[in-house]
Amino acid sequence: MPEVTNSYETVFILSTKLGEDGIASLVQKFKDLIAANGTVDGVDEWGKRRLAYLINKEAEGYYVLIDFTSVPAFTAELDRIYKITDGVLRSLIIKKEPEKAKKE
């Protein structure tokens, strides 16, 4: 029986204290992790943005959005890795609803 895969999108905010090289290496780490456990459909780096409120005494963060397809069990592991990785201020994983066929 083939495994069921779903479409997801994840947004994470990285600390700007990591510097450009640190941010680039973390973004690549998460892209590689997702690619190893599914398929990366798109990566959109929003860049440095001002936060709405201070997080860990930081006023700015580096935002990244990744669209991917994977098995449902992987999202729990990805969330766990976000939580234990230094430099990740916030993260969110959302299951995208399948697009319904247009009725004519």
pLDDT digits (tens, 9 = 90+) for 52-85: 999 999 999 999 999 999 999 999 999 999 999 9
Which CATH fold topology does 11-95 show?
Alpha-Beta Plaits (3.30.70)
- Determine the pLDDT at residue 2: 64
Would the pLDDT of 104 be above 90? Answer: no
User: What are the strands, taking DSSP E only, across 28-101?
Assistant: 38-55, 58-70, 88-95
User: Measured between alpha carbons, how far is residue 20 from residues 26, 27, 43, 75, 77 in Å?
Assistant: 10, 11, 17, 27, 26
- Say what the pTM is: 0.86
Helix 72-84 with 19-37: angle, nearest 10 deg: 160
What span, in angstroms and rounded, lies between the C-alpha atoms of 20 and 7? 29
Whether the CB-CB separation of 70 and 8 falls below 8 Å is answered with yes
**Averaged pLDDT of the chain:** 90
Q: For residue 91, which of 39, 55, 59 has the smallest C-alpha distance?
A: 55
Look up residue 40 and give its two tokens: 């990366």
